[in-house]
Amino acid sequence: MKERITLTLDSDLIRDIDSRIDGFQIKNRSHAIELLLFSALSRNCPRKAVILAAGSRTIQGYEEMLKPMAEVNKRPVLEHNINLLKKHNIKDIIITVGYKGREVKSYFQDGSRFGVRITYIEEDPAKLSGTAGPLRLMKDYLTDSFIMLYGDNLYELDILDMYSFHKKNKAEATVALKIMGGDVSKYGIVELKGNLVTNFLEKPSSGVKMQLVNSGMFILEPAVLELVPKKGFSMLEEDVFPRLVKERKLFGYPFDGQWFDLLDKESYEVAKKTWKN
């Protein structure tokens, strides 16, 4: 429930507040003030994040380059992700590694050089556990809201606003969504009713046009871990999210910032040319 209040503020402060309004992620002056208060009261963001890098392989045409370590603007994609998390004061990070995991660990080490703390979970490249499976190993560690993201994607996203959205909807899971045109058959697409996800379809048949696409960033509550199958390979998108849809506990957060999924050489070249830090 929201209540109306009246504030009297200095005109310079009001101009600073209004400069944050973009009409999409920050819709108006009231929304901007709410987000500032949300941050000031230390309710701004989860403290922990999980980055999935174990399932990543190399980009065709760049066979020596692991996707999360592919350089964009002279920095690995994974470093851009870590910087985004640190910008939102999320400094406790778990990275899952598999194929060429030694390369990731050698570059980032314990994270101190980047101002964060990194813990690694190593998976056998020949026996991966999917996007949900690794969470089984983290149940005792992830005891509050946490961020989860794909390590081979680039994001420009206001995690503070996404977390505020997540809490307002009392969601157990929130997925960041990007509007995509053209053929989206390589992605997971999402249907919404208001903010509630009503259908989550992983990699639909070709020909589907202009949809909200799963960007690979999520805010999850610890209760979601109980839905992960106890053994074997399991996917958030196929084994967990459909159950949350039925329970009306999965919400979608559309955002308009940059997003790149390094699917192939073409998408990597586009990211290198157009990504802005």
- Clarify whether residues 49 and 21 are in a common domain: no
The CATH number covering residue 242 comes to: 3.90.550.10
- In degrees, rounded to 5, the angle at the alpha carbon of residue 68 between the alpha carbons of residues 125 and 98 is 15
Token look-up 């910087």 returns 83
Half-sphere exposure of 10 (CA within 13 A, CB side): 3
Do residues 209 and 182 touch, judged by C-beta distance below 8 A? Answer: yes
Q: Is 63 exposed, middle or buried (0-12, 13-18, 19+ CB in 10 A)?
A: exposed
- Clarify whether residues 92 and 193 are in a common domain: yes
Whether residue 200 is contained in a domain is answered as yes
- In this prediction, residue 42 carries a pLDDT of 46
Whether residue 169 is contained in a domain is answered as yes
Cβ-based neighbour number of residue 86 at 10 Å: 16
Domain count, the chain: 2
- In this prediction, residue 205 carries a pLDDT of 58
The pLDDT tens digits along the chain (277 residues) read: 567 788 787 787 888 888 878 765 577 888 777 767 665 654 568 999 999 999 878 877 777 788 999 999 999 999 999 999 999 999 999 999 998 889 999 999 999 999 999 999 999 888 889 999 999 989 889 999 999 999 999 999 999 999 999 999 999 999 999 988 766 667 778 889 999 999 877 665 555 555 888 999 999 999 999 999 988 899 998 999 999 999 999 999 999 889 998 878 888 888 889 887 6
- In this prediction, residue 208 carries a pLDDT of 55
The maximal CA–CA distance of the chain, rounded, in angstroms, is 62
Q: Which residues contact 140 (CB under 8 A, 6 or more apart)?
A: none
Residue 215 and residue 154: Cα distance in Å, rounded? 9
- In this prediction, residue 22 carries a pLDDT of 73
Per the structure, the complete domain to which residue 30 belongs is given by 10-42
Whether residue 1 is contained in a domain is answered as no
Element (H, E) at 260: strand 259-261
- In this prediction, residue 20 carries a pLDDT of 79
- Clarify whether residues 134 and 249 are in a common domain: yes
pTM of the shown model: 0.82
Residue 155 and residue 49: Cα distance in Å, rounded? 14
- Clarify whether residues 176 and 254 are in a common domain: yes
